[in-house]
């Protein structure tokens, strides 16, 4: 992980050491902010259009003006990775309700947003994708509008800390007896009949961009997709489990609550989805991820 030394803040590119934000910013005081994380591979963005569409929806949902057209956002993203020399990694974007010199819950009638972006150079395909991750089950304590991608991430941060204390990497969040998501990713299982199952879209989960990309690639693949909620017991009895996100893309979940999922190794459906996703990114799978060819 290498944070780029040039960031974008409020209309200008500047050195990261000179990028300052008011302590009265609503993102700082109220977590009143939207964010997106977009992957970059071989100097190209993965599903940027979908990220920008979700950003528009979130900003509208939390009453923050969208200052840029999709074309302008794309230009800012491209200029940012160019200035930082990022060929592979992530771009983080945050738009807050801005600062106006006081702490007021309702705020002004129209917000003047703070806009911040930075680039993070890192390999996207590595040990996690090859070997898988461990998870725990955890009660989902997040707010009810998880379909909007906001910086209200305390529950997720605490979930990661709880997972680490348990010797795991992430958590499958549970609400009313059903899995909602992983701590910061969409959750999937493969049942013993080979069907791929993930929760249907609603206010309970984020409409993941990687989730949508995977679904596109399933068409014609022969993998049957079922969109419905599933229980922790179904995870325990599953043949495979997966989480999807922009950062980890397609991550096998090989153990949960200390017990192996399936045979405790990434399974054939997971490998096929990884291969399809990597190929769509333009990855030379035989060189970068030969284990996905099995």
Which residues are the active-site residues?
A: 149
Residue with tokens 């944070």: 3
CB 116 within 8 A of CB 8: yes
Give the C-alpha separation, 78 to 74, whole Å: 6
Through-space distance between the first and last CA atoms of the chain, rounded to whole angstroms? 29
Which residues, 6+ apart, have CB-to-CB distance to 280 below 8 Å?
Answer: 213, 217
Both tokens of 230, joined, read 């599933």
- The whole-angstrom separation of Cα 43 and Cα 60 is 30
Give the CB-side neighbour count of residue 194, counting CA atoms within 13 A.
Answer: 9
Cβ-contact 209, 184 below 8 angstroms:
no
Q: What angle do CA 128, 130, 135 make, to 5 degrees?
A: 45
- Contact partners, residue 12, CB within 8 Å, separation at least 6: none
């Amino acid at each position: 992980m290498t944070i780029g030394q040039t960031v974008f803040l409020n209309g200008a590119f500047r050195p990261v050491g000179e990028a300052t934000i008011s302590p009265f910013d609503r993102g700082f005081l109220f977590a009143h902010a939207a964010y997106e994380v977009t992957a970059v591979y071989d100097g190209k963005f993965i599903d940027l259009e979908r990220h920008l569409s979700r950003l528009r929806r979130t900003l509208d949902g939390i009453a923050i003006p969208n200052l840029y057209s999709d074309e302008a956002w794309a230009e800012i993203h491209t200029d940012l990775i160019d200035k930082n020399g990022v060929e592979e990694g992530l771009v983080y974007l945050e738009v807050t309700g801005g600062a106006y010199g006081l702490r007021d819950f309702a705020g002004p009638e129209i917000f003047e947003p703070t806009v911040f972006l930075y680039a993070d150079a890192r390999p996207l395909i590595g040990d996690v994708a090859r070997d898988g991750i461990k998870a725990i089950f955890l009660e989902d304590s997040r707010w009810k509008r998880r379909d909007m991608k906001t910086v209200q991430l305390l529950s997720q941060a605490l979930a990661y800390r709880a997972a680490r204390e348990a010797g795991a990497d992430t958590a499958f969040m549970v609400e009313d007896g059903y899995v909602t998501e992983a701590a910061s990713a969409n959750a999937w299982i493969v049942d013993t009949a080979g069907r791929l199952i993930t929760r249907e879209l609603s206010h309970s989960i984020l409409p993941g961009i990687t989730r949508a990309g995977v679904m596109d690639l399933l068409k014609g693949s022969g993998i049957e997709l079922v969109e419905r909620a599933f229980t922790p017991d179904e995870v325990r009895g599953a043949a495979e489990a997966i989480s999807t996100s922009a950062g980890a893309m397609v991550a096998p979940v090989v153990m949960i609550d200390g017990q192996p999922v399936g045979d405790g190794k990434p399974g054939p459906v997971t490998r096929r989805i990884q291969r399809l996703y990597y190929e769509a990114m333009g990855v030379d799978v035989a060189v970068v991820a030969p284990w996905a060819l099995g």
